[in-house]
């Protein structure tokens, strides 16, 4: 049973990486060239972002070398990911529900990263009873307990919000409730494991150390085991559901919301446009005059009335 448990851990990790890669690849390969949102300010405009401007304010901007403030982009995405700034600014009632949920996820993900570091420290000979490892253990225990609590509170608040808000309810499906409910169960099991397991950090480090070294030791904790099993399932579930925004958020902002590279500056965009112009037009309208025989170039350079 111990061997199977660790094998499931490897399967969940590898499955998440593969599914996330496939999702990103499908987006990059299959998404058409999007239409600009024209929403300002754009963070990588630097000082111009303070007044909602863009590089197009410059005279003959197309003749000048463009400067992109990547630090502004990084600051903007971190502000949105860590604090959900747009939701706070435009929908405070939703932010009160969703931020605890996201904060709980961030605490558990951050705790996992620290846990991996501690496992490597142990692998390189750091004493498990030293002051550093004791401090790490306290951080892991605290982040797991408070993070699980935040997921429970935030998840239940989001379920309630979706049921009571007429706008959200209109677009809510059973999948949304299933996703949130699964995370609530995950949070409850983690919260109980923190309360009733003698040392959550000890169990977590034993498991992580075993994954890294292939030295699989039994965990001897039903609650902790169930918590991990639900976590394994969620790792495989996230990339194939609407929770995939966790993976695609970078592209949602950098490629769609903030993507303002002029066509003349981008050979890849030019290539996409040339490919799109070759698509056949199957509109039957008389003013188009195509019937599936003409592509977009033909339609744009012909006049059906004159041809008649």
Q: How far, in Å, are 98, 184, 203, 288 from residue 111 at the CA level?
A: 20, 18, 14, 59
Cα separation of 3 and 93, whole Å? 46
Residue 260 banded pLDDT, cuts 50, 70, 90: confident
Per-residue pLDDT tens over the stretch 33-82: 777 767 778 889 988 888 888 888 888 988 888 888 989 888 988 898 89
Strand partners, 280: 295
Each domain of the chain, given as residue ranges in start order, spans 2-31+100-239, 277-307
State residue 294 phi and psi, 5-degree precision.
-105, 150
Per-residue pLDDT tens over the stretch 196-250: 988 899 999 999 999 999 989 998 889 999 999 999 999 999 999 888 888 888 8
Strand partners, 297: none
- Contact assessment for residue 55 and residue 48, using Cβ atoms and an 8 Å cutoff: yes
Could you tell me the fold of the domain covering 2-31+100-239? Fumarate Reductase Cytochrome B subunit (1.20.950)
Pick from 36, 39, 76: which is nearest to 256 by CA?
Answer: 36
Strand partners, 295: 280
Measured from the Cβ of residue 249, the count of other Cβ atoms closer than 10 Å reads: 13
Residue 95 banded pLDDT, cuts 50, 70, 90: very high
Structure tokens at 267: 């050979």
């Amino acid at each position: 049973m111990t061997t199977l448990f660790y094998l499931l851990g490897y399967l969940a990790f590898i499955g998440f990486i593969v599914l996330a890669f496939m999702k990103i690849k499908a987006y990059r390969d299959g998404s058409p060239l999007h239409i600009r949102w024209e929403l300002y300010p754009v963070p990588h405009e630097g000082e111009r972002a303070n007044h909602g401007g863009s590089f197009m304010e410059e005279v003959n901007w197309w003749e000048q070398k463009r400067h992109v403030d990547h630090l502004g982009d990084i600051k903007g995405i971190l502000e949105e990911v860590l604090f959900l700034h747009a939701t706070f600014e435009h929908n405070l009632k939703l932010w009160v529900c969703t931020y605890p949920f996201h904060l709980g996820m961030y605490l558990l993900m951050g705790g996992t990263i620290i846990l991996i570091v501690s496992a490597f420290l142990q692998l390189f000979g750091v004493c498990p009873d030293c002051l550093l490892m004791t401090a790490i253990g306290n951080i892991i225990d605290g982040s797991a307990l408070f993070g699980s609590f935040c997921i429970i509170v935030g998840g239940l608040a989001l379920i309630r919000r979706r049921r009571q808000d007429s706008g959200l309810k209109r677009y809510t499906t059973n999948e949304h409730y299933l996703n949130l409910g699964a995370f609530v169960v995950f949070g409850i099991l983690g919260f109980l494991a923190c309360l009733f397991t003698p040392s959550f950090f000890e169990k977590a480090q034993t498991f992580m150390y075993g994954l890294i070294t292939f030295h699989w030791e039994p965990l001897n904790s039903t609650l902790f085991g169930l918590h991990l099993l639900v976590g394994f399932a969620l790792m495989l579930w996230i990339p194939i559901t609407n929770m995939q925004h966790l993976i695609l958020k970078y592209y949602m902002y950098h490629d769609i919301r903030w993507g303002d590279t002029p066509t003349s500056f981008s050979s890849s965009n030019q290539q996409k446009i040339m490919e799109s112009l070759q698509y056949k037009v199957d509109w039957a309208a008389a003013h188009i005059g195509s019937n599936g025989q003409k592509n977009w170039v033909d339609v744009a350079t012909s006049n059906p009335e004159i041809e008649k």
